[in-house]
Structure 1
Amino acid sequence: MIIFPIIIVLSLVFWVYYKVAIIKSNDELTQAYFNAKSRICLGSFIFFFAINQYLFYQTQLSLFIGIVFLVFGSANLYVGLKEAKHYRQEWKRLNAQ
């Protein structure tokens, strides 16, 4: 399965990109939005890493560790999506013409 390593690497690259973008930005709302986007990337990294590790090893130990990683990755994805939606709406509200 080549798709999981590709997703893992892309999500890690985007996580680093958004963390650097937070440092470069001066606006607090933009920083919060980028932080939410980086949380989405981190959650997808953890989620797909867990799936990839279970498919690679297929042991009971990797299953248990994978389930823990799936829970943490899903939680990061969910919270990141909610935050990104909220901050996107706030930015639209503040910058309405």
Structure 2
Amino acid sequence: MPIQYHDQVSLLKDILSDHQSDCCGTVAECEQLERVIKSLIGNSNTDQHVKGILEDIYTYSQNGKNSTSLDQHIESHQDQLSQWIQDIDSYT
């Protein structure tokens, strides 16, 4: 059974918040972000502005999981992580 829109958004924000606060993460978290983002982008309830943000986060996830140092990748995106979380909050 697929998770509902609100739960997907919460999961997305939780992973991003963990990356921001812990400055570390896992490849599995990046893959989870990608799955949730694909689902949200395909959802007609998702605001167009949010879809643009989701595309940026998707790129961040892909680059992170393919990075030689995921933790360093996360650290270098601290400002974007904060902004993405705020933007998602304001549009959902």
TM-score, normalised by the number of residues in structure 2: 0.44
Q: Which has the higher contact order (CA 8 A, sep 6+)?
A: 2
Structure number with greater Rg is: 1
Q: Answer 1 or 2: which has greater helix percent.
A: 1
